[in-house]
């Protein structure tokens, strides 16, 4: 038989667990891959341009890329901290050669990334080169 004092104590512990579980879920969600979100590369604009590359990632990993000049689609596949990016067809806009080359290098670096990590609103794709993005939270 359980005493009344023990029941009150167990009820208190259960209340604390119920209150903390939603907060724990939120903390875990903040560390997950940013499916359904948009992010901007953490770099200054190139000289003569205001554009900064951004990725809009869908709930299933589909991505719309707007780069220095080019735009297109791709797909992210994620398992744990492992990431695979496959670029789709890119729209060849009227780009100056230096921006077209920067876009090609960015796509190659995303394709080369093998892992990713998240620290708050900062997302890093890590391969031979690390690419840093910031989640658009506004």
pLDDT digits (tens, 9 = 90+) for 50-98: 899 999 999 999 999 999 999 999 999 999 999 999 999 999 888 889 9
Q: What percentage of the chain has pLDDT greater than the value 90? A: 67
Give the mean pLDDT of 103-123: 96
Across the chain, mean pLDDT equals: 83
Concatenating the DSSP letter of every residue in 39-101 gives EEESSPPPTT-----EEEE-TTSEEEEE-SS-EEEEEEEEETTEEEEEEEEEE--S--HHHHH
pLDDT at residue 48, as a whole number: 83
User: How many other CB atoms are there within 10 angstroms of residue 23's CB atom?
Assistant: 9
């Amino acid at each position: 038989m359980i005493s009344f004092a023990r029941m009150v104590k167990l009820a208190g512990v259960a209340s604390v667990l119920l209150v903390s579980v939603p907060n724990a879920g939120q903390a875990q969600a903040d560390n997950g891959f940013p499916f359904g979100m948009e992010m901007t590369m953490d770099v200054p604009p190139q000289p003569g341009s205001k554009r900064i590359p951004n990725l809009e990632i869908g709930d299933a990993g589909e991505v719309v890329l707007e780069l220095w000049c080019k735009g297109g689609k791709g797909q992210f596949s994620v398992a744990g901290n492992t990431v695979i990016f496959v670029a789709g067809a890119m729209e060849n806009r009227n780009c100056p050669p230096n921006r077209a080359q920067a876009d090609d290098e960015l796509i190659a670096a995303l394709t080369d990334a093998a892992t990713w990590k998240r620290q708050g609103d900062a997302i890093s794709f890590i391969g031979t080169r690390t690419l840093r993005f910031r989640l658009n939270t506004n």
